[in-house]
Amino acid sequence: MPKRSYSNTAMVRSLRGSEPIAYAFLAPTLLLIAFFLISPMLSGLFMSFNKTSLSGLTRFVGLRNYQFLLSEERFLSNLQLSLLYVVCNLGISLPLAYVSASLLTRKMRGTVFFRSIFLLPWIVAPVVSSLLFRSMVDPAFGPLGMLLEKITGQQHVMLAEPFWAMATIIFHSIWRSLPFMTLFLAAGMAMIPREFYEAAKVDGAGPWKQFCTLTLPLTKIHLLIVLLTITLWTLQDAETVYALTEGGPGYSTEVMALRLFKESFINFDLNRGATLGILLLLVGLAFMISYARITAKEQD
Amino acid sequence: MRLLQKWILYIPYVLFSLFVLFPFFWGLRTSLAEQFDPRLIPSHFTLRHYQTLLSRPDFFLYLRNSLAIASASILITLVISALGGYALARLRFKGKSLGGLLLILPLLPPVAILVPLISYFQRLRLYNTLSAVIIANVVFSLPLTVWMMRNFILSNPVEIEESARIDGCSRCRMLFSIVLPMVGPGLIAVALFVFINSWNTYLFAFALTSSQSLRVIPQGILAFLGTWGTYWGGLCAAGILALIPPVALFLVFQKWFIAGVFGYQLK
């Protein structure tokens, strides 16, 4: 191998030291991230302690913005709905994702074709898929609306009833995240050697036992990434909820991210928006920490 | 019998595909059917809804804005991520091990960061311009795209670069004339990732612009929803037209796109 000899020359070894040009190459990335991503986070924290009056005067109000929200019924409902949104989305799609992933990891012809189909919900604009779902739950002619009428025996204007409106939001979100979760978990399951399962079968382990003792522990990293990604996506999802219901009827589907969206971009109350942003971040952090603790505990 | 068994294995694939594809099928069907025709497969098809949609000049305005934002975002992100990704993949410098922190940044909620960004852009006199939306697109894509470029460059053999280095090639020339031509799939994956994000998102434009003349396609669809109410034919036509570009590009380049996006978390 003649090429190998190059890496032994003194010339190449001198390259192993620090290269100042690296900082020049990284500068645009770091400057943009520092200025437009990190620094706004800090400004957001700062803004959450201030109040700007209509005349444009800004003054420090301490924790007053937080006190207002935490004692407000509407915010407590926002928070509950956000948690409900995350828990229902994950609770339903995660088991389904494991089932579909285990079916999909079989090696056979056409998997690439199906894989590209499965990823489509993830490629489509949230506002477009929301529009398609809104037409599907239309009480007059939408297939889901008519299906519900057949089952319950009465016509429902789904997006005008709090329960069905939230159910539509969750179903839409499952449709968007399930394919992504499936493919990600399938990628993890494909790395488990087949012999493990054969050995488990010899030991008389059924499918459930195999799942608990092999699949689950061996896809832990993938599971953790999927949980984190989908949780944070769902928590910060204002786009689809706004496009589906705008938080209605009343405030019955107004999740935290949507409240933040409305307060900041429609009412232009940036201080309250920033406060909601910090609270949203804290909820996300709480989820992250609990996932990390559960995973760490299982390691013992 | 064996053949039958083989076909049975495809049933879960088909069921899952039906679940995934049904909304698309429904949208396409509604955009081509007479209004309020409740049959799953309508008796006859019409292009009237598309004509209604395309007769609106504002649709083309939204299209132009979306295309302008997407192409500028792609161009800027490509250059910056190539530079940053190359540094992280090949150059030696202090603090390189902190590069992995980039992967934490996409977890931050854009909807929260946009709030202070509004006042930033007001002070920079960029609020209510397409540039503000472009900057937001670039900034929120960068952490992932830099990492994607790093992985694509790392997966190339380093020997060619080393011999060029010995021939006295500068780092800059090396990046643009030797490395980048070899990571074509990486550039395509990054470009497609940025295109899909910027084409699909209305959050940034919603937060950072206020003029109707600066609306992007997803905002236009929201506006149509507001004015057209339950005119599903026209609305679905708009939805179908809006989903064609990202879906078509994804289907063509999916191999590289999936390697770029799913690879980054696994490496």
A118 assigned to some structural domain: yes
Do A91 and A38 share a domain, yes or no?
Answer: no
Do A37 and A147 share a domain, yes or no?
Answer: no
| Closest to A168 in 3D by CA, of A95, A261, A160, A226 | A160
> Which residues 243-282 of chain A have a CB within 8 Å of chain B?
243, 257, 260-261, 264-265, 270, 273-274, 276-278, 280-281
> Which residues 64-93 of chain B have a CB within 8 Å of chain A?
79-81, 83-84, 86-88, 91-93
Domain range for A9: 2-47
| Closest to B138 in 3D by CA, of B214, B234, B69, B59 | B69
* Residue A3 near chain B (CB below 8 Å): yes
* Residue B226 near chain A (CB below 8 Å): no
pLDDT band, residue B177 (cuts 50/70/90): confident
Give the pLDDT score at A233.
Answer: 92
Across the interface, which of A133, A187, A257 has its CB nearest the CB of B23? A133
Helix (H, G, I), strand (E, B) or coil at A51: strand
Report the alpha-carbon distance of residue A30 to residue B137 in Å, rounded: 15
A56 assigned to some structural domain: no
| Closest to A245 in 3D by CA, of A117, A12, A85, A24 | A85
Give the pLDDT score at B78.
Answer: 95
**In the 8-state DSSP scheme, what is residue B216?**
-
HSE, side-chain direction, 13 A CA sphere, residue B103: 18
Do A91 and A191 share a domain, yes or no?
Answer: yes
Give the pLDDT score at A197.
Answer: 83
Do A133 and A38 share a domain, yes or no?
Answer: no
- Cβ–Cβ < 8 Å for B255, A163: no
Give the list of residues 6+ apart from residue B194 with CB closer than 8 angstroms, or none. B70, B73, B74, B77, B78, B137, B138, B141, B145
Backbone angles phi, psi at B108, to 5 degrees: -70, 140
**Dihedral Cα B172, B177, B180, B185, nearest 10 deg:** 180
pLDDT band, residue B264 (cuts 50/70/90): very low
Total domain count, chain A: 2
Backbone angles phi, psi at B33, to 5 degrees: -95, 160
Report residue A6 CA to chain centroid gap.
47
Chosen for mutation from B2, B13, B88, B122 (greatest number of chain A CBs closer than 10 Å) is: B13
pLDDT tens, position by position, A188-228: 888 888 888 888 888 887 888 888 888 888 888 889 889 99
Q: Which two tokens stand for residue B67?
A: 């295309």
* Residue B57 near chain A (CB below 8 Å): no
Do A68 and A43 share a domain, yes or no?
Answer: no
* Residue A56 near chain B (CB below 8 Å): no
pLDDT band, residue B92 (cuts 50/70/90): confident
Do A70 and A41 share a domain, yes or no?
Answer: no
How many other β-carbons are positioned within 10 Å of the β-carbon of residue B82?
24
Do A106 and A182 share a domain, yes or no?
Answer: yes
Do B159 and A121 make contact, defined as CB atoms within 8 angstroms? Answer: no
Do A157 and A29 share a domain, yes or no?
Answer: no
Do A74 and A221 share a domain, yes or no?
Answer: yes
Give the pLDDT score at B116.
Answer: 93
| Closest to B204 in 3D by CA, of B267, B136, B121, B149 | B136
Give the pLDDT score at B179.
Answer: 84
pLDDT tens, position by position, A30-61: 999 999 999 999 999 999 998 887 777 888 88
Do A34 and A171 share a domain, yes or no?
Answer: no
Report the alpha-carbon distance of residue B250 to residue B262 in Å, rounded: 14
β A50-52/A58-60 pair status: antiparallel
- Residues in A closer than 8 angstroms to B222, CB to CB, are 127, 242-243
Do A130 and A278 share a domain, yes or no?
Answer: yes
Helix (H, G, I), strand (E, B) or coil at A195: helix
User: Pick the residue with more confidence: A25 or A3?
Assistant: A25
Do A43 and A126 share a domain, yes or no?
Answer: no
A55 assigned to some structural domain: no
pTM: 0.89
A125 assigned to some structural domain: yes
A58 assigned to some structural domain: no
**Residue spans of alpha helices (H) in chain A:** 2-6, 10-14, 21-33, 39-47, 64-70, 73-104, 111-118, 120-123, 126-136, 143-152, 162-189, 194-202, 207-210, 216-218, 220-235, 239-244, 256-261, 270-299
Q: Which two tokens stand for residue A48?
A: 């959450």
Residue count of chain A, please give it: 300
pLDDT band, residue A8 (cuts 50/70/90): very low
- Residues in A closer than 8 angstroms to B172, CB to CB, are 21
How many other β-carbons are positioned within 10 Å of the β-carbon of residue B104?
9
Q: Kindly list the structural domains of chain B, giving each domain's residue range(s) and its CATH number in brackets, ordered by start.
A: 69-214+254-266 (1.10.3720.10)
pLDDT band, residue B63 (cuts 50/70/90): very high
Q: Which two tokens stand for residue A98?
A: 């494991």
Give the pLDDT score at A107.
Answer: 65
